[in-house]
Copies of this chain bind each other. A is one copy, B any other.
Amino acid sequence: MSAAVLSPTPAPVQAAAPALSPAAREAIADLLERYGQALDDDRVEEWSGFFEPDGVYQVTTRENQLAGRPIGIVLCEGRGMLDDRVKALRIANIFESHTHRHVMGRPLIEPRADGCCEVRTSFVIYRTMYTGETEVFATGRYDDVLKPGPQGWRIAQRRVVLDSRMVDTLMVYPL
């Protein structure tokens, strides 16, 4: 994530980074929201389709990241690994025991010189158990690299940075 995104001052226009059209910004924000709603609807088979064919999905904690530990909790490289993960979950048939609800803040979008965008989005995910109880499941941020293509924007890299160090077995679910 470049300093420009993080600074309170609007980033100076970089000569090398092309301007991003308002339509592209809308498309990126829609993509992230569709991702969340797909998971919340239990349409996890669509999950890998949000990624580039060689897209990377990582989960780590803020603590791990600050400590400079490159290895997170989860690392999937490519749609095949993402699909395998979903199949394993379906076979274990533990999906129906609860549902998620993603509520995300506004994505901060920073165009890069290569045409991709770095995007940073705060989120909270709630979990509702089959009994009906709802609780905060996770809070954190998405640090993404999105790539444009003929079929729209896709996730080239998603790093889920969790605020909490308590990472229970439910981390098997796509976040």
**Chain A residues engaging chain B, CB cutoff 8 angstroms:** 5-10, 22, 25-27, 29-38, 40-41, 43, 46, 49-50, 62, 99, 101-106, 108, 120, 122-124, 126, 128, 131-136, 138-141, 151-152, 163-166
Are A10 and B103 CB-contacts (below 8 A) given A122-B37, A163-B126?
no
Contact, CB under 8 Å: B27 / A26: no
A interface, over-half SS: mixed
**B residues within 8 A CB of A35?**
8
Min CB gap A164→B, angstroms: 5
Residues on B with C-beta less than 8 A from A128 are 139, 163-164
A160 to chain B, nearest CB (A): 13
With both beta carbons as reference points, the residue of chain B lying nearest to A62 in the complex is identified as: B99
Q: A106-B30, A164-B134, A166-B132 are in contact. Are A152 and B122 (CB under 8 A)?
A: no
Residues on B with C-beta less than 8 A from A104 are 103, 105-106
| Nearest CB on B from A154, distance (A) | 8
- Closest-CB distance, A58 to chain B (whole angstroms): 18
**A152 in contact with B10 given A26-B25, A141-B40 (CB within 8 Å):** yes
